[in-house]
Amino acid sequence: MGGFPGCLWRHRLASSGEQVEWGAQLSTLAKKVLGVGSAVVVLGVLIGLYVASWATSQPNTIVASAAPPPSGGTQLTLETVAAIGPKYEPSHPDWVSYLVRKDNKWIHSTIYSVPANSVVHVTLYQYDGDSGLRNPFLSQVQGTVGETETVDGKTINSIPPEEASHTFVIPQLGVFVPLPGVPEEAKNQCEFAPCEGAAHRTITFSFRTGKKGRYRWQCFVPCAAGYIDGFGGPMQTLGYMDGFINVV
């Protein structure tokens, strides 16, 4: 007796010619159902593989370079731009984004690798205008060495919340760094990356990494233009306004 219902029915009803004919019809139907079912399963597997491939694809990991002496530790050089531009991301050229510098080239990635129990020095070129923080509490610098950052050479421990353009925050490490925007009246504003030579703010800060692990980081400014609450699109896509710090 086969496992398929049609075969079962044919077996049990094989006592009259009429019933055999019905059983044969069911068997044909069973074949059709089996064919359609197999096709659905294959299609489902293909869709699943596509979704899994999409869901697990992520930017390359950029290893922080050694910081120049005498500071020690490692160096991350980042920039934020109002729009990533077609050169880096043809599919979303108008999305706000971070970039990272590696071997004198700007790379579109937000996954960085840094050593455990070390100091990471960050230099960040901020080319975007201000959007303002939804929660003004995050306008204070936290978790950096000295609990401060420098903005265009000036050491500060907080910024006016309405002047925030982005933040660099690693919640699990307690690192909260607000990034002030380029003033609206500034000339030579950058439209989209690459932004060298355009008006910008230069921000520096350092933080300690602690134990090994994978820590996510994100921007807390609702800076995703055109999305509900400013938190869709690039705020919800790895590689733009959030990423991982791999402490190794």
Partner 1 sequence: MAAETHPGTPEPNHARRFTALWVISSLIATPLVIFLLGPSLPPGNGSEQASGHVTDNTVLLAMATPVLLLVVIYLIYASIFFRQPKGGVLEGPAVRGDSRVQTAWVVITSVLVLSLAAYGTVRLLADNGAGSGSGPKPLTVPKGPKLPVQVIAQQWAFTYRYPTYGGVETTHLELPDNEMVELHVTSIDVIHSFWAYKLGVKADANPGVDNIAFVKPTHEQSFEVRCSELCGIWHGYMFDKGHVVSPAAFETWIHEQQTKFAPATKVLPPYSKTYSPEPTRRAE
Alpha-carbon distance of 137 to 176, in angstroms, equals 10
Of 53-92, binders to partner 1 (CB under 8 A) are: none
Alpha-carbon distance of 161 to 210, in angstroms, equals 29
Q: Which residue in 174, 191, 196, 248 binds partner 1 (CB under 8 A)?
A: 174
Shortest distance (Å) from residue 187 CB to partner 1: 20
Cβ closest to partner 1, residue 136 vs residue 210 = 136
State residue 126 phi and psi, 5-degree precision.
Answer: -105, 110
Q: Where are the alpha helices (DSSP H) in 156-243?
A: none
Q: How many CB atoms lie within 10 A of CB 33?
A: 14
Cβ closest to partner 1, residue 109 vs residue 218 = 218
| Strand order across the beta sheet in which 213-218 lies | 61-63, 111-114, 242-247, 213-218, 164-170, 175-180
Q: Residue 195, exposed/middle/buried by CB under 10 A (0-12, 13-18, 19+)?
A: buried
Q: Does 9 bind partner 1 (CB under 8 A)?
A: no
Interface region with partner 1, contact rule CB under 8 A, candidates 67-75, 113-121, 200-208, 224-232: 224-232
| CA-closest candidate to residue 173, choices 147, 143, 140 | 143
Q: How many CB atoms lie within 10 A of CB 16?
A: 9
Cβ closest to partner 1, residue 172 vs residue 202 = 172
Shortest distance (Å) from residue 8 CB to partner 1: 11
Alpha-carbon distance of 129 to 133, in angstroms, equals 13
Q: Which residue in 74, 110, 131, 206 binds partner 1 (CB under 8 A)?
A: 131
Cβ closest to partner 1, residue 6 vs residue 234 = 234
Q: Which residue in 62, 190, 218, 239 binds partner 1 (CB under 8 A)?
A: 218
Of 151-170, binders to partner 1 (CB under 8 A) are: 157-158, 160-161, 169
Interface region with partner 1, contact rule CB under 8 A, candidates 63-71, 101-109, 172-180, 193-201: 172-180
Chain contacts with partner 1 (rule: CB under 8 A)? 12, 96, 131-132, 134-140, 142, 157-158, 160-161, 169, 171-172, 174, 176, 216, 218, 220-225, 227-231, 235-238, 242
